[in-house]
Structure 1
């Protein structure tokens, strides 16, 4: 197992980072929040799904009596664009240990309001969970950071058409074994692994884990496919509050059929704990 990677350059803190500013929501009325989707989190031709999940997750944290997302399930209905948006939330149930809420994100399009994303989520208190862990899961064995590669190392950053603005917001170092697609020789294995953090040095927290599960390049690239891979549905489970330092993210696809594939993601913190898991169904352009 590789040793813990050196962290991205320190600087921003929780509350002052670009991630926090760009996922901010402003109360307009009870259960209604205004937001501005930043162009800095776009990939190819749409706003990244993990960023949207974190923004809606922040609104639900204000709505619900518990602070931390435990499970968040999102259906992506239409592609989001940079610009104004509104999030409407509702408390479904407020229990002793868990509270459940739903939320939808809307944008104006052609003079009418269009729903972009619908979420159902349960929140709790991660600090109140017992310490008992019984698992057979193991973190990915990544090469040291100096042997991994980020977007700035790519021979041609324009190899993927459209916007890659999100790459400038992330500190991402990918395992060379999953980078065949960048050299025109995809492995065909449907795997993506790497070290992950925010470029401004902000430490991970439960909301940024919602970004981490959907921030690596699509596994479809290693299957020999290119272009946009829009998410249809994504469910994330936040298992623990992450320790400071870089995260390890591993994503795999076992089945592509009928133009759809699944992506299973695991996120591990610097103490070797599994802090987040997700599964999504995505559509590919064959």
Structure 2
């Protein structure tokens, strides 16, 4: 099988948007949400972020997502969708816009699924200086981590797991055997199954595709995202990505989840925080 490339891969085809009309600072796009990126029948939130990021990258003067805040209003389902974008402000180095994805109920009623406010820029124009105390996650070698053939990833989401190459750190995969650590952590290697290299759009996918850190607390079931903010910090270097998730506070039926994505040059390339509903019965 030929390896996927940026612009020619399953991910690119499934996040494609077709311009329908433009009116000044507004643009409308048609999309088809693929069933291959679902979890328990609902379309994955990171996949939706990438699709909306692609639409905004076309609609705004600047191509790359820098900061994206998404509110998930209802569960998206596979099938046709409409994305409406609006330019809010265009500056020399940054532009800000919003996007809304809607689908239609059987009776024809419009249902808004997700609304995004985003700032875009040009990642290629950023200076190369780095001053940080952040450190990449300590992961066992790729071949010593647990892939979908070992159970955890495929057991959680068989549809989306076939499109991803995720290898979980065994230290954070005890939940799959009924022995969670209780620390609320998840770590693993991340890539796309067809080998497509990482870029800014796939980073939006990466922050929301590992099994939830809540599983490491011994919680089972769907962990729906209420709100997610992602920051894309630089274009990733070639090679696999490392992703770490952590949650520190579950209260009132909600929990936060913080994510970091690191590239092969030990650069922090993406960060996110989301507020999610704890699984029922937690």
Moved over 6 A (4+): none
Distance in 2 between residues matched to 1:84 and 1:244, nearest whole Å: 33
Per-residue CA deviation, residues 58-113 of structure 1 (Å, 9 max, x unaligned), is 00000000011000000000000000000000000000010000000000013211
Correspondence for 1:118 among 105, 115, 118: 115
1:11 is aligned to 2:3:
yes
TM-score by length of 2: 0.95
* CA 222–271 in structure 1, closer or farther in 2 if over 3 Å, else same: same
The match for 1:45 is 41
| 8 Å CA contact 1:44, 1:227 repeated in 2 | no
The match for 1:3 is none
Deviation at 1:119, TM superposition (A): 0.2
Runs of at least 5 residues in structure 1 that lack an aligned partner in the other structure: 1-8
Report which stretch shifted further, 39-48 or 115-124. Answer: 39-48
Correspondence for 2:232 among 228, 232, 238: 238
Runs of at least 5 residues in structure 2 that lack an aligned partner in the other structure: none
Matches within 5 A, 1:93-172: 93-110=89-106, 111-154=108-151, 157-158=154-155, 160=156, 164-172=158-166
| 8 Å CA contact 2:260, 2:271 repeated in 1 | yes
Aligned residue pairs, count: 275
| 8 Å CA contact 1:103, 1:118 repeated in 2 | yes
Distance in 2 between residues matched to 1:150 and 1:140, nearest whole Å: 18
| 8 Å CA contact 1:92, 1:101 repeated in 2 | yes
The match for 2:70 is 74
The match for 1:218 is 212
Q: Considering only aligned residues, what root-mean-square deviation do their CA atoms show, in Å?
A: 1.3
Per-residue CA deviation, residues 171-230 of structure 1 (Å, 9 max, x unaligned), is 000000000110011111100000000000000000000000001000111111111000
Q: Which has the higher contact order (CA 8 A, sep 6+)?
A: 1
Distance in 2 between residues matched to 1:124 and 1:157, nearest whole Å: 36
| 8 Å CA contact 1:10, 1:202 repeated in 2 | no
| 8 Å CA contact 2:154, 2:161 repeated in 1 | no
